[in-house]
Amino acid sequence: MKNSYLLIILIILAGGYFLLKNVKSPQREKNYKIPEIIMDTAKVNEIKLYTKAQDHQELKFVKEKDQWMLGTGDKNFKAQRSRVKAMIYELSNLKIDRVVSTQKDKWMEYEVDDSSGSRVVVYERGKEILDLYIGKLSFVQNPSAMQQQQPSGLSYIRFNNSNEVLVTEGFLPITFNQAIGSFRDNTFIKAEKDNISRIEFEYPSDSSFAIYKRDSAWYIGDLKIDTDKTEAYLQEVSKRKMPDFADEYKVIREPDFQLKLSGTNMEEVTIKVYQEEEEYYMQSSANMQTMFKSNGSGVFAKLFKGKKFFKEKNSLQ
């Protein structure tokens, strides 16, 4: 008897699944041709972005030779090339799954209107090729998947001057709905760890010193220091990014601290630091147009070490 009940339940579930997959909704029955996005990524040279995270203020990305620049208002910054590439990649590979609504009054629900969505406009050599709104993100967990598998994402979008709300797989809002800081070039130190052979620490008073590499060992003067710890330090600093910008700070004096990294097959990197009470304003020769900041326990503390740090045998702090 129990087996009969189970069989009936399975038949009902199978029938429901069949209807769900094969019976078209009113939206699907509408004679709507889903647009096909055709984009030549090599020709894309301008992107305008209006994100909810940036209060829909225009962020304008313009490609100048091999460098992407980011403009907002009367300010211009270097853009993170990887972030721009990610946007272009996701748009050029966008595959629309289906129409979920044809009603304008559903725009806010799916966050594809002017107030709740993020708008992106793409140009190829000055010609507009794409204008769409990126809205709500939904996470979908495949019930048959293993527990450790990450959930997939569904992104809701709408082409400008169109009523239809569409859904596509992916995490578009995470890529696009960001404030300006997420798109700016935050490079601070860019060097290969194994190319660095000398680091100079310049401090106030007489506390400055340098460490250098000879053969495969590291030294302060004639004193051999902990090589493993020094290598761990280099790993920490060699490709350092900075999370916080400080555009408001203006340099009016000599730096309080300096750090210089030099070696083979690399350009010397100089870090200048200006202390203002509990804040450290930091500028790098690897990104001279940008000023960053750190508190005393942040990036500043990771970069600026004393002699005692390299002499003691303990883990990297």
10-residue stretch averages of pLDDT, the chain, 317 residues long:
46 44 43 80 97 97 96 95 97 94 96 96 96 94 60 92 95 96 96 96 93 95 93 94 95 97 96 97 96 94 94 58
Verify that 211 and 141 share a domain, yes or no: no
Q: How far is CA 246 from CA 145, 243, 251, 290, in A?
A: 45, 10, 11, 8
Verify that 136 and 238 share a domain, yes or no: no
What's residue 154's pLDDT?
A: 95
What's residue 146's pLDDT?
A: 52
Q: What is the pairing mode between strands 118-124 and 96-101?
A: unpaired
What's residue 30's pLDDT?
A: 53
What's residue 151's pLDDT?
A: 73
Verify that 32 and 173 share a domain, yes or no: yes
Q: What is the pairing mode between strands 209-214 and 217-220?
A: antiparallel
Q: Find the farthest-apart pair of alpha carbons in the chain and give their distance in angstroms, rounded.
A: 91
What's residue 33's pLDDT?
A: 73
Q: How far apart are CA 120 and CA 127, in angstroms?
A: 14
Of 300, 283, 301, whose CA–CA distance to 292 is shortest?
283
Give the residue from 182, 217, 233 where a domain finishes: 182
> How many CB atoms within 10 Å of residue 255?
17
What's residue 148's pLDDT?
A: 57
* Total structural domains within the chain: 2
Q: What CATH number did the domain enclosing 299 receive?
A: 3.30.1490
Q: Is residue 188 part of a domain?
A: no
What is the DSSP secondary structure assignment for residue 226, as one 8-state letter?
Answer: -
Q: For tokens 């790993």, name the residue.
A: 235
Mention every residue, 6+ apart, whose C-beta is less than 8 A from residue 237: 189, 261, 302, 303
Domain with 143, as residue range(s), is 27-182
Cα distance from N-terminal residue to C-terminal residue, the chain: 67
pTM value is: 0.81
